[in-house]
Structure 1
Amino acid sequence: MASEQKVALIVGASRGIGRQIAIDLAKNGYAVVVSAKSTSDTNATKPFPPDPNSQQSTISTVEREIKEGGGLATAIPCDTRDLESVQRLVDETVKIYGHIDVLIYNSGAIWWASVEKTAMKRFQLMQRINVEGLYGTIQAALPHFKNNGWKARVIVVSPPIYSRFFRGKTAYAMGKVGMSVLTKGLAMDWERDGKKEMAITSIWPASSIQSAATSQIEKTDQDSIKDLRKASIYADAILAMLRAPVADVNGLLDTDEDFLREHEGVTDFSKYSLVEGASPRRIMPAKFPDLSVAEQADEGRRTDSTKLRASKL
């Protein structure tokens, strides 16, 4: 059923932030494909809807929530560690809805510890789900973007690049910063190739957001909830990024709060505090370093490995 609505594919949408993004995009008129590994029998889920940060929240329950709210949604399971699974997800999305207008990569594995305390298997898991999963998903989507006349937006859950981010979580940071490098690099490719209606943007929370990842901390530290925001701030920022001109967001690495302040004029963020009246602590720097250099436009003699290989055949 080809859709005349804009279609958003959200990878990592079973609970927490991903679920909120899916719910809010559907409320704003998008046909939404929700994807993750977890599925369930929604008829057996009681009470419904489930706690959005619990294991009971799956892509199946998110699909049902959206449909019961009058929206259009399809749940398609996917394991981002498996390229064939990723390819099936993207192809099935286009088969059902005809096109993809927005791709949001929220899937992620997290382990914050020193290199000494991060086993190789855990390191490899994070790289496969975080940076490799993102790369594979974009690779699978590119032919469909081309067929759609190169008109699409990509949103990546990855941080601005700055030194303090690596502290105490080097293995995790290697993958997440790699995702941000992909954002920067692909943005420059699209700009160089004249794809004026394509944009890729990275977004990160300025303050901690309640999610499945914070649930364990909340159980052991009740005061920690005062430093949490609702996931709606993230969804609002993404919607604002999708409304913004390509030139404002292509290659941008930003936080939810900063984007809403600078592009939407938001000055009061109190409605996003999980605890009414609380002022969640900002976990990100007030200002990020500028990654550009004076010679930014000077590429010298560009090397294209595909052409070098072709010349040897």
Structure 2
Amino acid sequence: MALGNGKVALVIGASRGMGRQIAIDLAKNGYSVVVAAKSTSDAQSAAAPFPPDPNSPQSTISTVEREIVETGGRATAIPVDVRDQASVQKLVDRTIETYGRLDVLVYNSGAIWWASVEDTPVKRFQLMQRVNPEGLYGAVFAALPHLKKSSSSSSSPSGGVGGGGRIVVVSPPIYSRFFRGKTAYAMGKVGMSVLTKGLAMDLERQGLKDMAITSLWPAVAIESAATRRLTLSNPSEARDLRKPAIFSAAVLAVLRAPVSSVNGLLELDEDFLRSDAGGRVTDFSGYSVVPGAQPRRIMPATLPDLTVAEQDDEGKRMDSAKTEGRAKL
């Protein structure tokens, strides 16, 4: 049976690069896929080459939908502006109207600006916060009721392989070097990882044993529109790049893994694939953009454990939703 047999995945940030690859591979594995982003186009235009360069502006959710459908998969392109919660809610509502359920949410949308604080204008900082942590929070908030329904109706055994209601976030493990030279960007991305940790605790406390949220991040730089610009000026840089397929493979491995091994996990794509839960993959040579190259790892070999000795000793827990009622915003 295919991994996603009868299930529905929503991939936000699916027009190019990693998001496109994730959407295509989910469809190949039996998921009906909603591909979402801001960019749309006339995917049926006879004048445009097809499929377009996956790292070019010509690759849109419209062309990704066509790629999936023409290879026998099910896909629907729905535009979204993650800075607008009404747009995000409409996206989730249309997903349910179209397919009747939602089982997987992948949040790949991202705004990038790597510079020092003094070289990061406030408007650029605000854009990154709106697209990165705020966009993720809004998507999760809108999707959670439907992901919970998926979990409760899942035919998988509690905590078993492939269970219902999965969220995968593109955000990093938390460690000090990540902040260097890109503080404003790191503030948002680390905030996304904090959401992963916190929501995982919520799910456990609520006894939702078939639900999980996981953060993944590349161990090696991935070929994308951003890295393409670097390699155009210095072609040798391509030796340090991997194809987006490695990240997509890690996403699929997370969805196959038992909830207990991935809920709240902040992990690197390569490291997860090497693990027992990820399939014990050891040969990554096929993912190199330049055949025979050994791309340089950009992430630490070991990462800090965020738990503390008195992990469960927090005193009396406050719940504003119960003491003051749910906020009506």
TM-score normalised by structure 2 residue count: 0.92
Question: Which residue of structure 1 aligns with residue 317 of structure 2?
Answer: 302
Higher mean C-alpha deviation, range 198-207 or range 141-150: 141-150
Question: Which residue of structure 2 aligns with residue 204 of structure 1?
Answer: 217
Any unmatched runs of 5+ in structure 2? 153-163
Structure 1 residue matching 2:141: 3-state secondary structure: helix
Q: 1:83 aligns with which of 82, 85, 101?
A: 85
Cα contact 2:148–2:211 (8 A) shared by 1? no
Deviation, structure 1 residue 215: 1.4
What amino acid sits opposite 2:32 in the alignment?
Answer: A
Distance 1:197 1:4 in 2: 17
Q: 2:253 aligns with which of 240, 259, 262?
A: 240
Question: Which residue of structure 2 aligns with residue 146 of structure 1?
Answer: 148
Distance 2:149 2:280 in 1: 36
| CA displacement 1:173-214 (0-9 Å, x = unmatched) | 000000000000000010011000010000000000001121
Question: Which residue of structure 1 aligns with residue 14 of structure 2?
Answer: 13
What amino acid sits opposite 1:248 in the alignment?
Answer: S
| CA displacement 1:71-120 (0-9 Å, x = unmatched) | 00000000000000000000100111011110000000000000000000
Structure 1 residue matching 2:118: 3-state secondary structure: coil
Question: Which residue of structure 1 aligns with residue 157 of structure 2?
Answer: none
What amino acid sits opposite 1:160 in the alignment?
Answer: P
Matched, 1:29 2:30: yes
Deviation, structure 1 residue 4: 6.8
Q: 2:272 aligns with which of 259, 262, 273?
A: 259
Higher mean C-alpha deviation, range 6-15 or range 258-267: 258-267
Q: State how many pairs are aligned.
A: 309
Structure 1 residue matching 2:9: 3-state secondary structure: strand
Distance 1:233 1:188 in 2: 28
Deviation, structure 1 residue 61: 0.1
Percent identity over paired residues = 69
Question: Which residue of structure 1 aligns with residue 198 of structure 2?
Answer: 185
Deviation, structure 1 residue 142: 1.4
Matched, 1:275 2:276: no
What amino acid sits opposite 2:118 in the alignment?
Answer: E
What amino acid sits opposite 2:178 in the alignment?
Answer: F
Distance 1:105 1:303 in 2: 29
Q: 2:244 aligns with which of 231, 250, 257?
A: 231
Distance 2:257 2:77 in 1: 28
Deviation, structure 1 residue 145: 2.3
Higher mean C-alpha deviation, range 205-214 or range 43-52: 43-52
- 1:131-170 to structure 2, matched below 5 A, reads 131-150=133-152, 151-170=164-183
Deviation, structure 1 residue 147: 3.3
What amino acid sits opposite 1:25 in the alignment?
Answer: L
What amino acid sits opposite 1:92 in the alignment?
Answer: R
Q: 2:94 aligns with which of 85, 89, 92?
A: 92
Distance 1:41 1:299 in 2: 55
What amino acid sits opposite 2:309 in the alignment?
Answer: A
Deviation, structure 1 residue 307: 2.3
The verdict on how the C-alpha distance between 1:194 and 1:54 changes in structure 2, with shifts beyond 3 A counting, is same
Deviation, structure 1 residue 297: 1.8
- Taking only aligned residues, the RMSD between alpha carbons, in angstroms, comes to 1.3
TM-score normalised by structure 1 residue count: 0.96
Any unmatched runs of 5+ in structure 1? none
Distance 1:248 1:170 in 2: 30
What amino acid sits opposite 1:84 in the alignment?
Answer: A
Cα contact 2:117–2:184 (8 A) shared by 1? yes
Deviation, structure 1 residue 149: 4.5
Q: 1:46 aligns with which of 28, 45, 48?
A: 48
Distance 2:48 2:325 in 1: 59
Deviation, structure 1 residue 42: 1.1
